[in-house]
A and B are shown apart, each in its own frame.
Chain A
Amino acid sequence: MKEYFRNTWLGIYTVLVGMKITFKHLFTPAVTIQYPEVKLKLPERERNRLYVNMDDCIGCDQCSRACPVSCIEIETVKSIPGEDLGVTSNGKKKALWVTKFNIDFAKCCYCQLCVFPCPTECIYMTDIFEFSEYDRNNLVYKFATLSEEEAQEKKLNFEKFTAEKEAQKAAAAAKPKDDQKTAS
C-alpha cells in the first residue's frame, strides 16, 4: 500500500519535473544556425578551395610537383630579352610567361601541400567551400591571365627568338671556319 502511494506520487512528481525542464527550453533561444543565411566562422587553418594570385606567380612549377594527385597543370614559356614581366610582391623578378595554370578541383584533395613550397606565396587556401557543379569539367579552374591568343603569341615569339638564336649560333659557329679558310 505504501508502495502504491509512493508510485502515484513519483508519477506525478516526475512528470512535473519533466514539464518544468521542457518549459525552460520553450524559452531558450534556438541553437539552429540557418546555414545559407548565417554561416559559422571557419577555423583559422581551414582548407578549402585554392586560389592563385597570378600577379605573383613566377611559374616555377613547384606546386604542381608537390601535388600528390597531380591536379595542377602548369605550362610556361620563357620570356625573350626586352620583355618586362614585372616583379612579384616580394621582389622576385619574373622570367616566365605562365600560359596555362589549371587546377582540377575534382581531383584536389585539399592537402595544402602545394601551398608550402611556393616561393612567392601566391597559391593559398581561401574560405570558399560552396562550389559544387553539375558538370565535372566546370570544376577545372583556369587561373592563367593570358588569353589563348596571347599565349600563342608568346610561344611564337619565343620560337622565333630561339630560331634566331640558333641561326646566330650557327652563324657564329660557321664564321670561325670561314676565317680559318680565309687565313689558310
Chain B
Amino acid sequence: MYQYFYDLTGNTILATLIVAVFPLVNVLIVALIGVYLERKVSAWIQDRVGPNRTGPFGLFQTVADFVKMLQKEDATAKDIDSKLYNIAPVLVFTGSFAAYAAIPFSSKLIGSEAEVGLFYVIAISSLVVGGILMAGWSSNNKYSLLGAMRSAAQIISYEIPTAIIVLSIVMLTGTLSLDKISNMQTAYFWNWNIFGGAEFGITKFLLIPFMIVGFIIIFISTLAEVNRTPFDIPEAESELVAGYFTEYCGMKWAMFMLSEYGNMFAVSAIVSILFFGGYHSPIGYLGNTLGIEWLIPFEQAFWFLAKGWFFILVQMWLRWTLPRLRVDQLMSLCWKYLIPYAFVNLIIIGVISLL
C-alpha cells in the first residue's frame, strides 16, 4: 500500500499521510457506528427501542451528536493545568490511533510491516495511560484524579496477563509480526490459532483447550485495558461522574470517546489476529474460485472488519450483561486469577510447542 502510493506520488511524507488516512477513517466509522450500535444494543437488551427519531431508524443520531459537540463552547475550569489539560486528549487519541500503524487490514493494506508489530502495539497502547493520568491530574478535580488513578492501576495490572498470552502465541508462531501471524492461519478456519494452529498433528489437538483458555484470558484483560464495563471503574458514572474526563467538554471530550472506540476496535483486531486468523477468510476466497486476483484484498478487508465488529459486539453484549466490578474484585481477578492461569497456560503451551 505504502509502496503503491510512494510510486504514485513520489513523496514519502505524502504517501505516509495517505496510508494513515485509511485507519483514521476506520476509527471514525467505528466511533460513529459504534456509538449508534451501543445505544441500539443496549436498548434491545433492555427491551427498549433505542434512538429512532433522527433519520431512518435513528441512524443520524450520532451525526447529530457530533454536530452538537462541534458547536459546543470549550468551557474549562479556572484552576486547571492548561498545558497538560490540552495535551491529554490528543495523547490519548494518539495512543489508540498509533496502534493501527501495525495492524494489517488486508494483505495489501498494512501500515507498517514491522517485524516487532505485536510488541509495538502492546507498547504504544500503554501511552493511553499517560494521557489518562495527565487528564485526571490537570483537571484539578477529585473525581478526575480518582478515575485516573484507578485507570492507571487497572491498565498496568491487566497489561501483564495480556502480555503473557501474547507471549505464548509468540512462542507458538515464532514471530512478532502481525502479518506473519495472520498468514500462518490462512485458508480455513481450522487453521486458526484457537483451533491449535495450522500444523496438523497431535499437538494441534493438545493445544485447543489451552488456546481457548488463552483466548478467554486475553479477551478479559483487553476488555479491562480499554476501560469498558464491567471494568469501567475509571469512568464509573455512578461513583465518579465521568472519571478522568469529568472536566472535559465539546471536542476534547469527543477525542476521549473517539479513542475509546478506536481502542475497542484495535483490541478486537489484535484478538482476531492472534486467535482468529486476522484478515484471512474462514471459508476460502471467492477471488480464488472465480480467478479474480484483485478481489482477494477486498475480501480480506471485509473479513477483518467483520471479525473486529464481531468482537466489538461481544464487548457491548458483555457491557449490558455484567455489573461493574469493585476495585478489590478487579485487582483480585487480575492478580489472583488471570495471571496465574496465564502463566500456567504459557508453560503448557511452551511444552506442547516443543513436542
- A residues sitting closer than 8 Å to B (CB atoms) are 7-8, 11-12, 15, 18-19, 21-23, 25-32, 34
Flag if B318 contacts A19 (CB, 8 Å): yes
In the complex formed, the residue of A with least CB distance to B318 is: A19
B49 interface contact, C-beta 8 A: yes
Flag if B47 contacts A25 (CB, 8 Å): yes
Q: Can you list 20 A-B pairs with a CB-CB distance of less than 8 A? A: A8-B337, A11-B333, A11-B337, A15-B318, A15-B321, A19-B317, A19-B321, A22-B320, A22-B321, A25-B44, A25-B46, A26-B41, A26-B45, A27-B44, A28-B47, A30-B43, A31-B48, A32-B47, A32-B49, A34-B49
Interface of B, secondary structure class, is: helix
* B326-355 contact mask (Cβ, 8 Å, vs A): 1 or 0: 000000010001000100000000000000
Nearest CB of B to A7, in Å: 8
- B residues sitting closer than 8 Å to A (CB atoms) are 41, 43-49, 216, 317-318, 320-322, 333, 337, 341
Flag if A25 contacts B322 (CB, 8 Å): no
Interface of A, secondary structure class, is: helix
Flag if A22 contacts B49 (CB, 8 Å): no
In the complex formed, the residue of A with least CB distance to B230 is: A15
**A18 CA to B48 CA in the complex, in Å?**
18
Flag if A12 contacts B337 (CB, 8 Å): no
In the complex formed, the residue of A with least CB distance to B53 is: A34
Q: List 8 other contacts, CB 8 Å, given A22-B45, A26-B44, A34-B49.
A: A11-B333, A19-B321, A21-B321, A22-B320, A25-B47, A29-B47, A30-B48, A31-B48
Q: Which residues of A contact B318 (CB under 8 A)?
A: 15, 19
Nearest CB of B to A175, in Å: 83
**A18 CA to B319 CA in the complex, in Å?**
11
In the complex formed, the residue of A with least CB distance to B46 is: A25
Flag if B44 contacts A30 (CB, 8 Å): yes
Flag if A23 contacts B317 (CB, 8 Å): yes
Flag if B317 contacts A32 (CB, 8 Å): no
Q: Which residues of B contact A22 (CB under 8 A)?
A: 45, 317, 320-321
Q: Indicate whether A25 sits within 8 Å of B45 (C-beta atoms), given known contacts A15-B322, A19-B317, A19-B318.
A: yes
Q: Indicate whether A12 sits within 8 Å of B44 (C-beta atoms), given known contacts A19-B321, A22-B317, A34-B49.
A: no
In the complex formed, the residue of B with least CB distance to A33 is: B49
**A132 CA to B272 CA in the complex, in Å?**
56
**A22 CA to B333 CA in the complex, in Å?**
23
Which one of A8, A18, A29, A31 contacts B322 once the chains associate, using CB atoms below 8 Å? A18
In the complex formed, the residue of B with least CB distance to A27 is: B44
In the complex formed, the residue of B with least CB distance to A30 is: B49
Q: Which residues of A contact B337 (CB under 8 A)?
A: 7-8, 11
